[in-house]
Amino acid sequence: MEHQPKVLICDDNIAVHESLTAYLKAENIQCVSAYDGKEALNKIKNTQFDLMILDIMMPKMSGTDVCREIRKTSEVPIIMLSARGEEFDRILGLEIGADDYITKPFSPREVVARIKAVLKRVQPQTLQTTPSERIVIGQMTIDVECYEVTIGNQKIELTPKEIEMLIYLSRNKNKVLTREQILNQVWGYDYLGDTRAVDTLIKRLRKKLPASGLNFEIKSVYSIGYKLEVGS
């Protein structure tokens, strides 16, 4: 039986729940609602979800605090919402482990399109007929289909967006990639022209990779972008 995705919508605005639920149900996606931060955290701890929509400004516990708590134990994809749209919010959301960011007011169609894109990337393909792509660089192996990264025999816990960044860098090893190129390929759309999103994700990724024993390094290229430099 085909897996029916389950999404947790966390927002204190009833209208947001009604609009997103209507659109998601039309796409055969289950929806569960939470109306404050503590309720959201309790539900994510007790139920397995495929993705989470998380508003930053919520009663009892903010979305940023909820995201921080979730990232201690789970890599579930998180798309954050905010009515303010300030640069600080966008960068903070990425720094604490969110995978995407949408500013209110938004089109429900846009949100659903983002959700479907994330789910398509992170869910195994049941009708896969070709061998799973594996990228091997030294001790690191990336299973592209399963969204898994291992170094030696150890699985590295990364969010889907961090894995997508590593896949893109690895497929273009030893090439200098501009921030704009990375935005286009990893996010797949114009991320409000905010290239700091790239810097923030690279920072997160570097922290999660081992500090030594690798034959590659994510190098900054001044005023341009980044490259995955691989040794011989």
Calculate the dihedral angle through the C-alpha atoms of 172, 175, 180, 184, rounding to the nearest 10 degrees.
-10
pLDDT (0 to 100) of residue 94: 75
The residue-averaged pLDDT of 98-110 equals 83
Sequence-separated (6 or more) residues with CB below 8 Å from residue 191:
101, 183, 197
Q: pTM of the full predicted structure?
A: 0.69
Q: Where in the chain is the domain with CATH 1.10.10.10?
A: 134-230
Q: Give the model confidence (pLDDT) of 127-136 as tens digits.
A: 343 456 889 9
> Which residue bears the tokens 């990893």?
186
Q: Which CATH number fits domain 134-230: 3.30.1330.180, 1.10.10.10, 1.10.3210.10, 3.90.1170.40?
A: 1.10.10.10
Residues facing 178 on adjacent strands: 225
The residue-averaged pLDDT of 140-151 equals 89
Q: Where in the chain is the domain with CATH 3.40.50.2300?
A: 6-122
Residues 176 and 218: beta-carbon distance below 8 Å: no
Percentage of the chain beyond pLDDT 90 is 35
Residue 219: strand, helix, or coil: strand
Q: Is the pLDDT of residue 192 over 60?
A: no
Residues facing 53 on adjacent strands: 9, 79
Which structure tokens are listed for 141? 């192996």
Q: Which residue has the higher pLDDT, 4 or 230?
A: 230
Q: Domain 6-122 belongs to what architecture? A: 3-Layer(aba) Sandwich (3.40)
Residues 103 and 96: beta-carbon distance below 8 Å: no
The residue-averaged pLDDT of 143-164 equals 88
Which structure tokens are listed for 70? 């979730």
Residues 207 and 221: beta-carbon distance below 8 Å: no
pLDDT (0 to 100) of residue 175: 93
